[in-house]
């Protein structure tokens, strides 16, 4: 990554009369779109030669930081290595050139990719059937909740509209429930950071026949394994609700425990987390949904074809590459890396809940709060040292949450380097807090004015031009 801002927009490189494409000449005769169907003005798109375009995007990429640039301990996002062979197979023309409505006999290989992936996901999760239709984790959540709602409707159990979620849940859980026409009720966390069983018992008793499901990550967003899951599952099932597993935190469970065996009925998997497909700056990911036997007739139509098929191909390449003997090491090694960081830093960062974590854990800011250096400042200072920041201010249970997830791919040297820098920042906070509070200093841009952006939104180049 280049620490000098490149900063241009493609529109600013455009010159009338230039072009960056070549198309065949019209061989079909004088057919032309009639005037009455045409737009009145051309779209003001850029006019650039090919090399200008290539340099522009190459230079833009140099102002970006990805997993291939360095350590990316973004909690809850599982920024693991994205193997190159996966990219190679996903681009194979024998797959990339297929129209989704081609006759079945011409897409047998593609069908088999989906079948093999679904079968592998069933084996790894202990569930019965998967659909690859959901495009992303949040889309998977929504799909899974639809399955649950349809299941209850099919039994004439229309009143079940409430979904229990822990107060530490991802923000998408309540949002997905709302889109699905369900209501959220929150169950408290106890002092250990786990679901408060007493509170859950109270809720189950109170809500009884209105409970549609309980939605959980396990390990939860604090990185803690919900060890009371057998009791939780019994309580919810006895009340007639189903158990939903949010697969956001599935990575540490590979080789350790399966959601199906924990008593979950429905789950989604983020292929871009646990199964190594690239995050692509925010997407495309994929959120396959798995269910226990008997629920597969309730898969809804949430997308027209086979979901993000090329993402599924990458996930299958990953599973086949690792094979059964390596895939079971993914969870333990990710968990080891997280615990090692936690133990190495807990004397200088506030660890609100001690004990074993799984693939990630949460600090509540610096231990020494007297310096005024916040979690935001620590995160920004990390950028100066060439690291991506951890997830900050989530979960909402603590004021200064700093959530660290290293993944199984990071070496001890990389992690030791990160630990060293985290300690150095803690030291800087004491001796030179202003240096930390004004960070970052070495990145292409400094801290941005979020308020200006939101108060007076400029979201297109046309609006930008009108500003000057």
Partner 1 sequence: MNYKYFPHTDADLQAMFQKVGIKSLDDLYAEVPEQIRFRGEYQLPEEMSEIEVRQLFDKLGAKNKQLTCFAGAGVYDHYTPSAIPQLLSRSEFLTSYTPYQAEISQGTLHYIFEYQSMMAELTGMDISNASMYDGTTATAEAVMMAVAAGKKQNKVLVSETIDPKTLAVVNTYAHFHGIEIEMIPAKNGVTDLSTLNSQLSPDVAGVLVQQPNFYGIVEDYEGFADACHNQKALFIMNSVAADLAVLMTPGEWGADIAVGDGQSLGIPMQWGGPYVGYMCCTEKLIRKMPGRIVGMTKDNRDQRAFVLTLQAREQHIRRQKATSNICSNQSLMALWATVYMSLMGKQGLKEAAELSYAGAHYLCDELLKTGKFCLVYNQPFFNEFVVRYSGDVDALQKRLTENGIFGGIKLGADKLMFAVTEKRTKEEVDNLVKIAAL
| Interface of this chain with partner 1, residues 318 to 337, rule: CB under 8 A | 319-329, 332-333, 335-337
CB closer to partner 1, 27 vs 370: 27
Which residue, 331, 309, 334, 356, is CA-closest to 415? 334
Q: Which residues contact 397 (CB under 8 A, 6 or more apart)?
A: 167, 168, 189, 193, 222
Which residue, 63, 109, 74, is CA-closest to 445? 63
Residue 230 CB, nearest approach to partner 1 (Å)? 6
The answer to whether the beta carbons of residues 392 and 449 sit under 8 Å apart is no
Applying CB under 8 A, does 15 fall inside the site for partner 1? no
Which residues, 197 to 226, sit near partner 1 by CB under 8 A?
Answer: 225
Encoding tokens for residue 292? 């226990």
Residue 370 CB, nearest approach to partner 1 (Å)? 25
Rounded Cα distance between 314 and 83, Å, is 9
Residue whose token pair is 């129209």: 99
N residues, the chain:
468
The answer to whether the beta carbons of residues 359 and 407 sit under 8 Å apart is yes
Which residues, 383 to 402, sit near partner 1 by CB under 8 A?
Answer: 383, 388-389, 394
Applying CB under 8 A, what is the total number of residues that bind partner 1?
Answer: 197
Applying CB under 8 A, does 256 fall inside the site for partner 1? yes
Residue 20 CB, nearest approach to partner 1 (Å)? 4
Which residues, 20 to 49, sit near partner 1 by CB under 8 A?
Answer: 20-21, 23-24, 26-29, 31-34, 37-40, 42-48
The answer to whether the beta carbons of residues 311 and 280 sit under 8 Å apart is no
Applying CB under 8 A, does 177 fall inside the site for partner 1? yes
Binder of partner 1 out of 234, 293, 424, 462 (CB under 8 A): 462
Applying CB under 8 A, does 366 fall inside the site for partner 1? no
Applying CB under 8 A, does 142 fall inside the site for partner 1? yes
Rounded Cα distance between 4 and 223, Å, is 36
CB closer to partner 1, 160 vs 358: 358
Applying CB under 8 A, does 340 fall inside the site for partner 1? yes
Binder of partner 1 out of 265, 400, 410, 428 (CB under 8 A): 410
CA dihedral sign, ordered 101, 106, 112, 115: positive
Applying CB under 8 A, does 258 fall inside the site for partner 1? yes
Residue whose token pair is 């200093």: 441
């Amino acid at each position: 990554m280049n620490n000098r801002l490149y900063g241009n927009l493609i529109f600013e490189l455009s010159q009338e009369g230039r072009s960056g494409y070549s198309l065949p000449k019209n061989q079909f005769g004088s057919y032309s779109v009639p005037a009455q169907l045409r737009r009145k003005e051309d779209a003001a798109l850029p006019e650039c030669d090919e090399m200008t375009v290539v340099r522009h995007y190459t230079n833009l990429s140099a102002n970006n930081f990805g997993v291939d640039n360095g350590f990316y301990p973004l909690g809850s996002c599982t920024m693991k290595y994205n193997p190159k062979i996966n990219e190679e197979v996903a681009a194979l023309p024998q797959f990339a050139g297929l129209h989704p409505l081609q006759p079945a006999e011409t897409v047998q290989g593609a069908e088999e990719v989906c079948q093999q992936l679904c079968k592998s996901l069933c084996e790894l999760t202990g569930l019965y059937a998967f659909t690859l239709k959901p495009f992303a984790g949040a889309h998977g959540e929504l799909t899974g909740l639809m399955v649950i709602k349809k299941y209850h409707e099919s039994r004439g159990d229309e009143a079940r509209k409430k979904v229990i979620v822990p107060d530490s849940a991802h923000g998408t859980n309540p949002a997905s429930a709302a889109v699905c026409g369900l209501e959220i009720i929150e169950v408290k966390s106890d002092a250990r950071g786990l679901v408060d069983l007493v509170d859950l018992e109270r809720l189950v008793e109170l809500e009884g026949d209105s409970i549609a499901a309980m939605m959980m990550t396990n390990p939860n967003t604090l990185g803690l394994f919900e060890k009371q899951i057998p009791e939780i599952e019994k309580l919810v099932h006895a009340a007639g609700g189903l158990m939903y597993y949010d697969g956001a935190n599935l990575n540490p469970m590979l080789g350790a425990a399966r959601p199906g065996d924990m008593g979950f009925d429905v789950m989604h998997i983020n292929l871009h987390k646990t199964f190594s497909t690239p995050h692509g700056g925010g997407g495309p990911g994929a959120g396959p949904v798995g269910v226990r036997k008997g629920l597969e007739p309730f898969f809804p139509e949430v997308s027209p074809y086979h979901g993000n098929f090329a993402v599924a191909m990458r996930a299958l390449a990953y599973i086949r590459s690792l094979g059964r003997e390596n895939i079971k090491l993914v969870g333990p090694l990710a968990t080891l890396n997280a615990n090692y960081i936690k133990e190495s830093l807990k004397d200088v960062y506030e660890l609100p809940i001690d004990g074993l974590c799984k693939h990630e854990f949460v600090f509540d800011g610096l231990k020494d709060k007297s310096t005024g250096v916040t979690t935001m400042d620590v995160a920004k200072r990390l950028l100066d040292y060439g690291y991506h920041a951890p997830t900050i201010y989530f979960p909402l249970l603590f004021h200064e949450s700093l959530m660290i997830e290293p993944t199984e791919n990071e070496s001890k040297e990389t992690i030791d380097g990160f630990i060293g820098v985290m300690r150095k920042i803690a030291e800087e906070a004491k001796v030179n807090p202003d240096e930390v509070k004004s960070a970052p200093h070495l990145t292409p841009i400094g801290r941005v004015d979020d308020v200006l952006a939101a108060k007076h939104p400029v979201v297109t180049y046309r609006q930008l031009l009108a500003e000057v």
